[in-house]
Copies of this chain bind each other. A is one copy, B any other.
Amino acid sequence: MELMEQKIRKEGKVLPGGILKVGSFLNQQIDTDFLGKIGSEIARLFDGCGVTKVLTIESSGIAIAAAAGMAMKVPLVFAKKHKTSNVDGSTYATVVHSYTHNTDYTVVVSSDYLLPTDRVLLVDDFLANGKALMGLIDLVNQAGATLVGAACAIEKGFQGGGDGLRAQGIRVESLAVIESMSDSDITFRR
């Protein structure tokens, strides 16, 4: 998606530790016109795949997943990062390692919202080492649902998570794939 690359080049900032800050348009502050286009592009990429549900993890993926769900006219489900008092009944849970925060957390989704009949598209803002998506895949498998694929706004190709998932036969579509980045330059995969 050409527009995603333009936005990253124009507004993204590379911070120490390999962190790409896109807070001005994708995370913290979200350009909602752009968000609508992201949703439409994800819907276009997975058109005809019979997706019945979009699944993400709170919280930075929710806006993109909502836009994708609206464009695809299917419900959005977001897995929560810990069991809260307003999730009752039985749940599926898995442990995910966060690269950004360097910590493990438990991700939970109610079994009411992931069904064996569901065809699930995973959606997230960033794909780095792929741990978050692997956690979501585990939840999809626990539910006995079908995984259609994963759509991410920005993939850090140099961290290898996306290619690892593709090597397992999973369809992964990222709207921009960063091959390398430094303070002064960002190179996209062609």
Question: What residues make up the interface of A, taking CB atoms closer than 8 Å to B?
Answer: 13, 15, 17, 19, 21, 23-24, 27-33, 35-36, 58-60, 62-63, 66-67, 69-70, 72-78, 80, 84-88, 100-101, 109-110, 112-113
Contacts and interface: CB of A to CB of B under 8 A. Distances in A.
Given A36-B70, A62-B66, A63-B63, A86 B19 contact: yes
B66 A30 contact: yes
Contacts of A70: 32-33, 35-36, 67
**A31, A32, A69: which has the most chain B beta carbons within 10 Å?**
A32
A17 B88 CA distance: 13
Contacts of A87: 23, 28
A13 B100 CA distance: 36
How many monomers of this chain does the complex have? Answer: 2
Contacts of A113: 23-24, 28-29
A17 to B, nearest CB: 7
Contacts of A84: 100-101
Given A23-B86, A84-B100, A88-B15, A78 B59 contact: yes
A93 to B, nearest CB: 14
16 contacts: A19-B85, A23-B110, A24-B113, A28-B87, A28-B110, A29-B75, A32-B69, A32-B72, A33-B70, A33-B73, A35-B69, A59-B78, A62-B62, A63-B63, A63-B78, A67-B70
